[in-house]
Amino acid sequence: MDTELLKTLVAIVDHGSFQRAAMQTFRTSSVISMQMKRLEEQVGTELFCKQSRDQVLTEDGQQLVHYARRILQLQESALQSIKGPQQGVLLNFGCPNDYVANLLIVIMSVMESMQPNIRFRIRTGTSAELRELMDKGEVDLALVTRTPNSDEGLTLFQDKRCVGGEKRV
């Protein structure tokens, strides 16, 4: 059983919804949903049922959350026992050159406030290059630009650029 999927399950329960779990884990809701489908396939049962608008844990889901917490705690204990105290999480982060000077510092400080011993390895490039690095698994998370109607990723901000120049006669 994939422990990353168990972490996602616990995040959904701890944060109360797929959407809030997605925001807290820096993923999209669709990624969270796909991960839960994979976990349901692995365990061979439904973990959630729809109740009005909400996804609610089934009895099997509640039981798995209980075991997931124990498994994740054991995993952390085993790692600390072998490696000693954790040196920090390494995040391979991709950022377009345009945003390095002003936005990257803000994002890093927010992430550090949420995960105090996080370490960053920064990769820069165009949005297309960063998407490719994400697809290859070389970047864990990337800040990229997208077309206005795209539902890819999470929207952090919208920027309307204005280009000016001198009028030629």
Q: Which class is 3-83 in CATH?
A: mainly alpha
Contact 26, 94 (CB under 8 A): no
16 by Cβ neighbours in 10 Å (0-12 / 13-18 / 19+) ranks as exposed
Looking at domain 89-142, its CATH architecture is 3-Layer(aba) Sandwich (3.40)
- Kindly give the parts of the chain with pLDDT less than 70: 84-87, 147-148, 150-165, 169
Q: Are strands 141-142 and 89-96 parallel, antiparallel or unpaired?
A: parallel
State the pLDDT at residue 114: 82
Tell me the C-alpha distance between 36 and 41, whole Å.
9
3-state helix, strand, coil in the chain (%, to 5): 50, 15, 35
State the pLDDT at residue 153: 63
In the chain, CATH 3.40.190.10 sits at: 89-142
Q: What Cα–Cα distance (Å) separates residue 41 from each residue in 38, 54, 148? A: 5, 21, 34
SS3 99: helix
Structure tokens at 169: 């006669």
In the chain, CATH 1.10.10.10 sits at: 3-83
Structure tokens at 53: 């608008």
State the pLDDT at residue 160: 63
Tell me the C-alpha distance between 166 and 169, whole Å.
10
Contact 117, 88 (CB under 8 A): yes
Structure tokens at 83: 């490696």
> N- to C-terminal Cα distance for the chain?
69
Q: Which of 29, 62, 15 is nearest to 43 (CA)?
A: 62
Q: Which amino acid does the sequence have at 103?
A: L
